[in-house]
Structure 1
Amino acid sequence: MPAERLARDIRPPVRIAHLGLGNFFRAHQAWYTATAPDAARWGIAAFTGRSRPLATALTSQGGLYTLIVRGPDADRLEVIGSVAEAHPGDDIASWRTVLTRRELSVVTLTVTEAAYRRGRGGGLDDTDPDVRADLAAFRAGAPMVTVPGRLVAGLNARRLAYGGPIAVVCCDNLPGNGTATARVVLDFAGAAEPALLPWIRDNVSFVTTMVDRITPRTTPEDVASVAAAGRPDEVPVVTEPFTEWLLEGEFPRGRPAWDAAGARFVSDVTPHELRKLLLLNGGHSLLAYAGSARGLTTIADAVTDPTCRAWLDEWWDEAVRHVPLPAAELTDYRAALLERFANPRIRHTLAQIAADGSQKIPIRVLPVLRGERAAGRPATGAIRALAAWITHLRGQGAPITDDGAQPYVDRAASPRDVLTLLAPDLAADRDLTAKLDELT
């Protein structure tokens, strides 16, 4: 008999809205929701960033998809059923409608660091043309394209419909991501509809999280492997066995039993967030730029290259000094990262990780660079990571896919000029700029 496509008749009721329907969300938050013991009560209405094909494919499969958990030796296939509705990101009418539902309790986000449209001080970048266009669109009742704009539009619709309190849960790699999300939302609301501000302060909880699960892009070979196993699926997701989720904050209308699925609720995410941001994400960025410049393609390639591995250890030796966790825990975490990075069956490409470096370098590398220089140490590992990004801006290694890169590309011939734009407080450090010149 031919294999049947994924389909179903019964879906869980929508009590979560998600913005940023993509592979990481489907490997992480959707997986935790599907794995929770009360999964039958917590369906997700998920919206893409802007594209339609993924939403169309998931809708044709009743929201179901296959998660390929790829270990070093074998795959494990799981059908995930927590996505009850899939919508394209430009369907603003459905977004507003979903947010007005009184039974909706949670909004989650996986939209990348750049999507929050933050200015240099962390607030909303009101010079961004898309932000300015969205402010005008909000006043005119027209569709919006930015994440802050869409969040405020949805929250305003909820306010007008007396929808009640709700938790907003950022799952992107931003320090203090709950506070960061609150700030851009309040900034946008203050500029667009000041009457909304007190309602947000009284009714919206912004939850801070730390998320971790390596999720590479799905390839045609992955789609074929699922079909060969008797589960035709247009949009499977590949991920690693490891997963971690820490959350800090309040859920005024309840939440799934994510803790029963392995999530941890803590009083302070910050130390764990720093651990992941500096060691995993910072290590990824170093390998993405330095490894691709050496002709390597994947994280597994880079971490098994002796030169890249030495540079990674150098970076980690510096970074751990700025993570307030026990030394033994950090040593164990480094060992686990090496095992995860070296998994040859997870094809996590350096080009994918290299995207949006102008947003990532300031939060993944600069805190260590500043800390090391303030302590009078040479910061060779941090400088090397920054230098690798500068050579990337010059066209070496992975292609540049970064909307914010052009001002840095224009200055890439001079590391000092890049540093002046990126971190003016460091540009006067002559030893640092000399080392950058040497490494680039």
Structure 2
Amino acid sequence: MTVPTTRRLARGLDGLPAASAPVRIVHLGVGNFHRAHQAWYTHHAPDAGQWGIAAFTGRRPDQAEALAPQDGLYTLITKGPDGDEVEVISSIVAVHPATDHEAYLGYLRDPAVAIVTLTVTEHGYRRDAVGNLDLAAEDVAADVAALREDLKAPVTSAPMRLVAGLQARRAAGAEAITILPCDNLPDNGDVARTLVIDGAAAIDESLVPWIEQHVDFATSMVDRITPATTDDDRDLAGDRLGYTDASPVPTEPFSEWVISGTFVAGRPRWEDAGAQIVDDVAPHERRKLWLLNGSHSQLAYVGSARGHETIDAAIADQQCRAWVEQYWDEAERNLGLPGEEVQAYRDALIARYENPRVRHLTAQIAHDGSQKLPVRTLPTLNAERAAGRVPVGCATTLAGWVLHLRGIGAPVHDPGAGPAQEAASAGPVGEVVPAVLETLQPGLGQDAELVSAVVEQAEAITA
């Protein structure tokens, strides 16, 4: 059955507000994860009627094209081991392609807008080797040049979109606002602050003190497995709710959001929807990045190299599971958290990975390894090497990544992997590993014991 899905028609559905909420949050990078996570928490906040989200796509306009005719409404499908639950999420009240720059500037000029959130992936932050804004990157350099000529000029990189929005806000006389990154980066609020200050200084030094006075950079840790949407998901939404949803979102029952920030212009009551508001995100962040994201990357590369398309299939491979447990042992030694807490988290991860109804594709997780591995795998690797140990679990992840770069397993979708991919294809595995590791972290390829372990694991993966 095909029924037009509009906010007006959908108001008769249980749980939807009587009218659209006013826009008070702007989101950059709308995709499945944002819609299963931050938008879901906002929808379930008791004051959701005051906190509408205006969402902008990344480089591709697909989500805007799918969601705009639906007035931002979509179906969330929670795939539990025993069945599916569906609900219509109404917190996104406007959806725009990234190219609608004037609409974006218009929102940032509005004093009522209190928060900008981001899910642009690790690569989208455009950091250089030391963590500053990569002003030499082609898109960043083009954005800086454009804004120097015209402060209203369209820009494409996430840091410079933030800078352009803040400049427009200052010019309009609007003030307090919070920037809240929701990507898997340690201290992501501090990362965003550094990049925005660098970008502001590159176009107008006078913008820097205004940002320092009026902009709060909050930090968050996010967690919810959200696979890509399939035709089966679209069919399910239609069968259950009686209309065609062009872009439903499948997700798992588990969700976690830990947030630290002052929120100078206010925020939804996310804590009443299950989020944790804390003084220090770091312990939660390390646990999630090292255990969940670190093992996800390992399963993406190693699992796909062994022929597994999904996480549940990969974790059912007893060799893959043993390598994950080995990696977790290494990470746990360096987390500094109680053993009981870590074991409970590990057990919960296994249960989440084994859920056959959440088809999380290894190829999807494998994207952007050059940006992900430094924050997911290298902290444990460096800590283990500093203690004099050879971390075979970490070496297994790196071995899987080398194979991935050589065309084995999931295809490479990683704009930052050019040098690593070139190095990986320059000869036999045993010869290329040092050069590949060197692209990930200077000096890593000179560690003979680590290189040997990576080569051995690459052979074990493909045996």
Contact 2:434 2:444 in 1 (8 A): no
Q: Which moved more, 1:430-439 or 1:260-269?
A: 430-439
Matches of 1:436 and 1:312 in 2, distance apart? 15
Q: 1:161 aligns with which of 160, 172, 196?
A: 172
The residue identity in structure 2 corresponding to 1:95 is Y
How far 1:322 sits from its partner (Å)?
Answer: 1.8
Q: 1:219 aligns with which of 207, 212, 230?
A: 230
Matches of 1:428 and 1:86 in 2, distance apart? 48
How far 1:3 sits from its partner (Å)?
Answer: 6.0
The residue identity in structure 1 corresponding to 2:439 is L
How far 1:56 sits from its partner (Å)?
Answer: 2.6
Q: Does 1:98 align with 2:107?
A: yes
Q: CA RMSD in A?
A: 1.1
The residue identity in structure 2 corresponding to 1:236 is P
Q: 2:444 aligns with which of 419, 426, 433?
A: 426
Paired residue for 1:45? Answer: 54
Q: Does 1:74 align with 2:83?
A: yes
The residue identity in structure 2 corresponding to 1:6 is T
Matches of 1:237 and 1:23 in 2, distance apart? 6
How far 1:29 sits from its partner (Å)?
Answer: 0.3
How far 1:435 sits from its partner (Å)?
Answer: 1.7
How far 1:124 sits from its partner (Å)?
Answer: 0.5
1:236-293 CA distance string (max 9 Å, x none): 1000000000001110011000000000011110011000001000000000000000
How far 1:225 sits from its partner (Å)?
Answer: 1.3
Matches of 2:136 and 2:102 in 1, distance apart? 27
Matches of 2:132 and 2:279 in 1, distance apart? 25
Q: Does 1:384 align with 2:383?
A: no
1:379-433 CA distance string (max 9 Å, x none): 1101111111011111110001111111001111411111222222333322112
How far 1:127 sits from its partner (Å)?
Answer: 1.4
Q: 1:233 aligns with which of 237, 242, 245?
A: 245
The residue identity in structure 1 corresponding to 2:4 is R
Paired residue for 1:59? Answer: 68
Matches of 1:123 and 1:193 in 2, distance apart? 17
User: So what's the TM-score if we normalise by structure 2?
Assistant: 0.93
Matches of 1:379 and 1:247 in 2, distance apart? 31
Paired residue for 2:124? Answer: 115
Matches of 2:325 and 2:391 in 1, distance apart? 13
Q: Does 1:196 align with 2:214?
A: no
Paired residue for 2:434? Answer: 416
Q: 1:15 aligns with which of 21, 24, 35?
A: 24
Matches of 1:3 and 1:395 in 2, distance apart? 42
Paired residue for 1:181? Answer: 192
User: So what's the TM-score if we normalise by structure 1?
Assistant: 0.98
Contact 2:177 2:265 in 1 (8 A): yes
Matches of 1:351 and 1:291 in 2, distance apart? 10
Where structure 2 has 5 or more consecutive residues not aligned to the other structure, the ranges are 9-18, 459-463
Contact 2:185 2:375 in 1 (8 A): yes
Percent identity between matched residues is 52
Q: 2:385 aligns with which of 373, 384, 391?
A: 373
- Secondary structure of residue in 2 paired with 1:410: helix
Where structure 1 has 5 or more consecutive residues not aligned to the other structure, the ranges are none
- Secondary structure of residue in 1 paired with 2:337: coil
Paired residue for 1:407? Answer: 419
Matches of 1:323 and 1:205 in 2, distance apart? 28
Contact 2:221 2:259 in 1 (8 A): yes
Contact 2:433 2:445 in 1 (8 A): no
Q: 2:314 aligns with which of 299, 302, 305?
A: 302
Q: Does 1:260 align with 2:278?
A: no
Paired residue for 1:316? Answer: 328
Paired residue for 1:282? Answer: 294
Q: Which moved more, 1:137-146 or 1:73-82?
A: 137-146
1:141-179 CA distance string (max 9 Å, x none): 221110011110001000100111100000000011000
Matches of 2:360 and 2:112 in 1, distance apart? 38
1:154-212 CA distance string (max 9 Å, x none): 01000100111100000000011000011111111111111110010000000010000
